[in-house]
Amino acid sequence: EQIVGEYFPMFEKEQLTVRKSITEEHVPVCIDIEKMVRVYDNLFMNALKYSIKPSEFFINLELKDEKAILQVSNKAENVPADDINQLFERFFRGDKARTGHHGTGLGLAISKRIVELHSGRIHADYSGGWLRFTVEHQID
């Protein structure tokens, strides 16, 4: 909620309407806050940089099967890679990203490493024009 609040003005400025659904339930996960903030920062910055605009940005946090599941989705013309898993490779940047925005192509690779060091999982899927990232943590 706190990070979403910090990003809210930037989403508004970029004409992305935030649609969030965050569970009211207690979410008992053991995480390194500073490291996980890097993961959320990159996901939110990526949506700001690469989403189709104006459009909507969905944030969803729920508890399911003993897992805390965070999903973020934004509109994208296509998957900017032949294989969606390439997005998590070091230095990978899509065509649009290379022409329009600064970045190193490290954000998702670092995020994957951080999430996996938490014994969690991060992955992406694309369906009907929406690119969605899922971050899963086992709850304690």
Direct distance between the N- and C-terminal alpha carbons of the chain, in angstroms, rounded to an integer: 20
Q: Minimal distance in Å, beta carbon 15 to ligand ATP?
A: 15
Coil, strand or helix: which one is 126?
strand
Piece of 11-19, 28-36, 86-94, 114-122 that binds ligand ATP (CB under 6 A):
86-94
* Residue carrying structure tokens 């969605």: 132
Over the Cα atoms of the chain, what is R_g? 15
Contact 6, 44 (CB under 8 A): no
Which of 16, 61, 68, 108 touches ligand ATP by CB under 6 A?
108
Site string for ligand ATP, 41-80 (x = CB under 6 A): -x---xx--xx----------------------x-x---x
- Of 79, 13, 3, 65, give the one whose Cα is nearest residue 38: 3
- Kindly identify the residues of this chain, within the stretch 42-61, that bind Mg ion according to CB under 5 A: 42, 46
Q: Is 107 in the site for ligand ATP (CB under 6 A)?
A: yes
Q: Minimal distance in Å, beta carbon 67 to ligand ATP?
A: 22
How many chain residues bind ligand ATP (CB under 6 A)? Answer: 21
Coil, strand or helix: which one is 121?
strand
Q: Which residues of the chain form contacts with Mg ion (CB under 5 A)?
A: 42, 46, 107
